[in-house]
Amino acid sequence: CDECGHDNVNLEEDEDGDLVCEKCDTVLNDSDEETDDGSDDEDDGGKASSNPAAGGNRNASGGSPEIECEDCGHVNVNPVRDEDGDMVCEACGEVLPEELASNPANSGDVPVTECEHCGHLNANAERDEEGDLVCDKCGYVMDEADDEGSDDEGGEEEQNRANSSSKKNRGAADDDDDDDSDEDDFADDDDDDDGGQAQQKEPKSRADKLNQLNKKKEDGSQSGDGKNEFGEDGKPVTGPSGKKLTPADMFQPGDVITVTVGKSNPKQDAGLKVEEKNGKYYVRKVPSGGLFAKTPVIAGDKVLELNGTDHHDFKNIGELKKVIKDEQRITIVVLRKDPNASESSASSVDYDALAPVTPDGVQREEIEEKDDDSAGYDGHDCGCVWCPDCNA
């Protein structure tokens, strides 16, 4: 189907004699159907680039996009938008970058700039107030040579911008205690040794950059020997796979996490979506551009407390959403859930919400209190030394 990219197999004509897509109900062109008049070979040749089963590559021909989640690495094939209009990773629930929805490796309209510091691919990167391209993941000033949209700038302006960016990077590396000496060397080389040669390199195509990134992930070249990299303070900086650790990676299932964020104004979006499941409240998703994006809170965390109010005291999910929307300062306490635990496992049971049950067909016997005016406490042994009930 040219409309949605769905592969329809063994379609039958409807009452009007048309072939209709099973997914989006679009009427397919007659040229897409194989005829029995000896033109099968011609039709097969025309379909080779659009049918994956015939050896074609749908991504290469502009069909269903494959978007890789930057958080968990899962490849989402032709993801569908949720009720909020966002595309969410099928594996971890993270919101996928909107700029990558059109498969930037094959689109000439969306420029992709690779950060030399962390390897993140910035789709349609925007300049800051100083005119520099800054990585939206690590904040590093990116080299102008990697941005294909800067071909129209003069050589002198590029040279000045490159020197400015290298000085910024060197200053940032000196101030950040977590940066290692390799980052300082990188900044010094750009300023002193390269002499603007980076701008003279032939820019890579967007497809080459994505292929190079995928190749690094496959052969494990990002992590070197496959072991964690540690900073000067002894704390791990990357995981065994070479992926840079995030605040969420510092917590394990069962940990209780407290996070406080502040809005610049009460109307600012906090970037936290919650949902209700079986009377309990969970984090549904954390948009990448919100205030909670750089906190340990992730999708699937159970909400225990919000701005000092216990989760049992909220009558419905609407009250939680109102606090998140209206309050300028938000403090949330969440429980990191085990993603592999099923709803029926012991680790997923909320023992605070358990209540006694009566089997079907069994009537619970009511306990009646006897009224004895001569006893100190309605016939019960109260432990005193004077009443006849305790000292009979």
Do 113 and 179 sit in the same domain of this protein? yes
Query: Chain-wide mean pLDDT for the chain?
Result: 67
User: Are 107 and 54 in a shared domain?
Assistant: no
CA 297, 298, 300: angle at the middle one, nearest 5?
120
**Per-residue pLDDT reduced to its tens digit, 160-203:** 555 555 555 554 445 454 444 444 444 444 454 444 444 555 66
Boundary residue ending a domain (309, 326, 341): 341
Q: Helix axis angle, 155-175 relative to 181-188, nearest 10°? A: 160
The most confident of the ranges 35-44, 198-207, 342-351 is 198-207
Of the residues 341, 358, 378, which one is the last residue of a structural domain?
341
**Residue 132 in domain:** yes
376 occurs within a structural domain: no
Distances (CA, A) of 88 to 75, 81, 271: 11, 7, 14
CATH assignment at residue 259? 2.30.42.10
Q: Does some domain include residue 349?
A: no
Q: Is the pLDDT of residue 257 over 80?
A: yes
Do 252 and 207 fall within a single domain?
Answer: no
pTM: 0.32
66 has pLDDT over 70: yes
> For residue 136, is it within any domain?
yes
223 and 116 in a common domain: yes
Does residue 168 form part of some domain? yes
Q: Do 48 and 140 belong together in one domain? A: no
Percent of the chain having pLDDT more than 90?
4
Dist. CA 343–CA 355, nearest whole Å: 17
372 inside domain: no
End-to-end CA separation in angstroms for the chain? 91
Q: Which residue has the higher pLDDT, 178 or 233?
A: 233
**Top-confidence residue, 9 or 29:** 9
The answer, yes or no, to whether residue 97 has pLDDT greater than 80, is no
DSSP string, 80-144: -B-TTS-BB-TTT-PBPPGGGGG-TTT-SSS-EEE-TTT--EEET--B-TTS-BB-TTT-PBPPG
Last residue of a domain, one of 245, 264, 283: 245
Give domain status of residue 363, yes or no.
Answer: no
In this structure, the answer to whether residues 217 and 318 fall within a common structural domain is no
Residues 317 and 220 in one domain: no
Count of domains forming the chain: 3
Q: Are residues 203 and 287 in the same domain?
A: no
Residues 167 and 101 in one domain: yes
pLDDT on residue 337: 81
Asked if residue 146 and residue 21 are part of one domain, the reply reads: no
Domain range spanning residue 132?
97-245
Residues 299 and 222 in one domain: no
253 and 145, same domain (yes or no): no
User: Is residue 377 one of the residues assigned to a domain?
Assistant: no
